[in-house]
Amino acid sequence: MQKFGCLIVGIIFIIVGAVLFIKNDYLTKNCTEETIATVVDMHEELDTTSDDVTRYLYYPIIEYFASGKKVEVKMDSASSTPAYRIGEKVTILYNPKKTNEFIIKGDKMSNIFSIGFMGLGVVVTIFGIVLLVKKEQ
């Protein structure tokens, strides 16, 4: 079972990267209405890493008007230092059919992150295959 470890981890990375890529592609295609959002609050969440380091993660909460209604949403992405200040304006694109779905206009990091995850998964999977082939010889 131990010889399959790299292979399994690599495949998991590929799947996670693909899911993130598909989600981002969905949002890019469906979030077509542009508006200005305001950061109204910062959600703090305590995070403990694997080596028992405790830190806060900061999730901006934004507010905007979509289809004549005020929408308040917590962003999916967090950072260890606040990426935005309360009161800061952010240009977003939202989904007119599901107004709580949005993307930051011009943000390419989501795609880079998902492609990087898949790329790392491919490398680890290939490494796992090489290990399996060498152990069988």
**77 touches 1 (CB < 8 A):** no
Instruction: Give the whole-angstrom CA distance, residue 136 versus residue 121.
Output: 23
Where helices occur in the chain by DSSP H, the ranges are 5-30, 109-136
Residue 61's φ and ψ, nearest 5 degrees, are -110, 125
Q: What is the CA radius of gyration of the chain?
A: 19
In sequence order, what are the beta bridge partners of 30?
Answer: none
pLDDT band, residue 135 (cuts 50/70/90): low
Instruction: Give the whole-angstrom CA distance, residue 22 versus residue 31.
Output: 14
The pLDDT value given to residue 43: 93
pLDDT in tens, 62-104: 999 998 899 999 988 888 888 899 999 999 999 999 999 999 8
The pLDDT value given to residue 30: 95
